[in-house]
């Protein structure tokens, strides 16, 4: 009954917000996630739709480099924390369409052709909020902006707590907004000046009115039953520079880590992942381990290797929704023997084993060692060859077209070291022309090739 009521409420609310035109997503970069977090960046775009010729009444310029900053935040969450947030980034320029203004206002657009692109941005937000509420029951929307009035400050925009009403009413209270594991607590700990200060009570001092939250956070914040906690970030100009210590990628990465910690500390974590597949496979130089899941949170996996009595953690990376990949190239694997891989997942702070698989690895044999002296070749040359195993092999010279021009050894070769004298001639005894050639060996323990130069 509760889910049905929420669904009806979402339908009524978002139907009221939706415009009359069909949304056009051509100028929106967006993606679905696997955690209850949405990144929004409405003012970093640079493109003018071909059918939009009249600017907004304000015709503001972009919040410079906020699109790139938001992309860095997204990449940090993916690559360092292994999670996939929902994201909605505008590529249309704010001069033509302002997604942080009320619809049907000349501040949002003046050209009627712009409405469908505006709706593309907001329909993406509405769809992702509905998905998060349906799956987790709550979450966080971070709306990324830039300001120049206070170039080294990050301003908080929540309408003095209104748009994070659910967070403040929860068990963590102000700690969820400004405590050590909060978004602003993490940014403060990373060395950024935030305003209002993290140690100040709510509304004392109040948020700066120009930066205290615009249309997006007011529309989708948790003061509405069908909303998320919504925070507008106003990042100072000098913190999003193209170079130097204030490079946009630095605060972008720090914001990703801050959002990741905030999400884990104050927002719902999935039920334990349902493992669909876990596959370790021997490859040249090591072992690849891949797995697929339904549900679960990527940051809550650990992959362990047990080999020769030692246990070590193996790094892995996110490879798309529900897919993960690790390449284990530990030197000890070359010794061969049995290796056991264990995949573990954490739910509600408790680690549990999802699957264990073992492999029996052969001991690796060293590949052939090949050298030529003197080099470049001007006449007679000595080719030194070292083999770890006996077997059929071929040592030959090829030209740049791939044609074999000389065979130096072919047939069954014993293990060990040998020196083969080559007179610098082709198979018919004619001196090779000056140029570049490839000395190629193929044998029981692999292939080795070496580029050689012949001078005349």
Task: State the CATH number of the domain containing residue 346.
Answer: 2.60.40.10
Q: Are residues 288 and 422 in the same domain?
A: no
Nearest residue to 92 via CA among 27, 39, 136:
27
Q: Are residues 261 and 329 in the same domain?
A: no
pTM equals 0.60
Q: Are residues 137 and 284 in the same domain?
A: no
In the listed set 313, 328, 361, which residue is the last one of a domain according to the structure?
Answer: 361
Task: State the CATH number of the domain containing residue 72.
Answer: 3.40.630.40
What is the structure's pLDDT at 446?
67
DSSP bridge pairs for 310: 307
What is the structure's pLDDT at 8?
40
Lowest-confidence segment of 191-200, 277-286, 294-303 by average pLDDT = 294-303
Mean pLDDT of all residues in 59-77 = 93
Task: State the CATH number of the domain containing residue 373.
Answer: 2.60.40.2550
Q: Are residues 75 and 176 in the same domain?
A: yes
In the chain, the number of structural domains is 3
What is the structure's pLDDT at 241?
87
> pLDDT, tens digit, for every residue of 205-228?
999 999 999 999 999 999 998 899
Q: Are residues 206 and 283 in the same domain?
A: no
Which residues are CB-neighbours of 19 under 8 A, at least 6 positions away? 103, 104, 115, 118, 119, 122
Nearest residue to 398 via CA among 349, 332, 442, 343:
442
In the listed set 247, 266, 285, which residue is the last one of a domain according to the structure?
Answer: 266
Kindly indicate the confidence band of residue 453, based on its pLDDT and cuts at 50, 70 and 90.
confident
User: What letter does residue 241 receive in the DSSP assignment?
Assistant: B
Q: Are residues 239 and 330 in the same domain?
A: no
C-alpha span between 323 and 48 (Å, rounded): 36
> pLDDT, tens digit, for every residue of 226-265?
899 999 999 999 999 887 667 888 898 999 999 888 887 7
CA distances from 40 to 122, 140, 144, 224, 253 (A): 10, 11, 6, 18, 15
User: What letter does residue 15 receive in the DSSP assignment?
Assistant: H
What is the structure's pLDDT at 81?
82
Q: Are residues 110 and 235 in the same domain?
A: yes
Q: Are residues 321 and 179 in the same domain?
A: no
Q: Are residues 142 and 165 in the same domain?
A: yes
In the listed set 361, 383, 406, which residue is the last one of a domain according to the structure?
Answer: 361
Q: Are residues 283 and 389 in the same domain?
A: no
Six-digit token string for 341: 């891989």
The answer to whether residue 10 scores a pLDDT higher than 60 is no
- Domain residues for 404? 369-454
Q: Are residues 147 and 213 in the same domain?
A: yes
What rounded mean pLDDT belongs to the chain? 86
Q: Are residues 121 and 248 in the same domain?
A: yes
């Amino acid at each position: 009954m509760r889910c049905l009521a929420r669904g009806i409420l979402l339908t009524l609310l978002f139907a009221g917000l939706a415009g009359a035109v069909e949304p056009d997503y051509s100028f929106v970069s967006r993606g679905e996630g696997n955690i209850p977090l949405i990144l929004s960046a409405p003012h970093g775009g640079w493109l003018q739709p071909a059918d939009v010729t009249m600017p907004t009444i304000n015709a503001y310029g972009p919040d410079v480099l906020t699109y790139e900053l938001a992309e860095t935040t997204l990449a940090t969450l993916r690559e360092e924390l292994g999670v996939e947030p929902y994201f909605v980034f505008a590529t249309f320029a704010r001069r033509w369409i302002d997604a942080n203004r009320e619809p049907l206002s000349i501040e949002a657009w003046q050209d009627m052709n712009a409405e469908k692109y505006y709706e593309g941005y907001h329909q993406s937000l509405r769809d992702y909020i509905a998905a998060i509420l349906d799956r987790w029951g709550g979450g966080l929307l971070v709306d990324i902006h830039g300001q120049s009035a206070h170039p080294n400050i990050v301003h908080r925009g929540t309408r003095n707590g209104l748009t994070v009403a659910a967070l403040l009413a929860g068990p963590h209270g102000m700690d969820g907004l400004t405590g050590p594991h909060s978004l602003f607590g993490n940014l403060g700990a990373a060395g950024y000046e935030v305003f209002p200060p993290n140690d100040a009570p709510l509304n004392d001092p109040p948020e700066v009115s120009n930066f205290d939250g615009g249309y997006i956070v007011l529309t989708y914040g948790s003061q509405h039953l069908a909303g998320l906690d919504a925070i507008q970030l106003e990042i100072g100009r000098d913190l999003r520079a193209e170079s130097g210590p204030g490079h946009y990628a630095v605060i972008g990465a720090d914001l990703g880590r801050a959002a990741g910690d905030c999400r884990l500390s104050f927002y719902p974590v999935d039920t334990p992942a349902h493992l669909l597949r876990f596959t370790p496979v021997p490859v040249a130089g090591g072992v690849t381990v891949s797995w697929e899941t339904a549900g679960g949170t990527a940051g809550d996996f650990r992959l362990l290797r047990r080999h020769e009595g030692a246990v070590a953690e193996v790094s892995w990376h996110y490879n798309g929704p529900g897919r993960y990949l690790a390449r284990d190239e530990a030197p000890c694997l070359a010794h061969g023997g049995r290796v056991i891989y264990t995949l573990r997942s954490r739910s509600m702070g408790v680690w549990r084993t999802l699957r264990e698989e073992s492999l029996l690895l052969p001991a690796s044999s060293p590949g052939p060692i090949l050298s030529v002296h003197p080099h470049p070749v001007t006449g007679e040359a000595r080719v030194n060859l070292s083999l770890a195993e006996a077997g059929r092999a071929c040592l030959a010279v090829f030209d740049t077209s791939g044609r074999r021009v000389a065979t130096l050894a072919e047939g069954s070769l014993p293990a060990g070291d040998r020196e083969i004298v080559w007179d610098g001639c082709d198979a018919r005894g004619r001196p090779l022309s000056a140029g570049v050639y490839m000395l190629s060996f193929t044998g029981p323990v692999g292939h080795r090739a070496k580029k050689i130069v012949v001078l005349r």
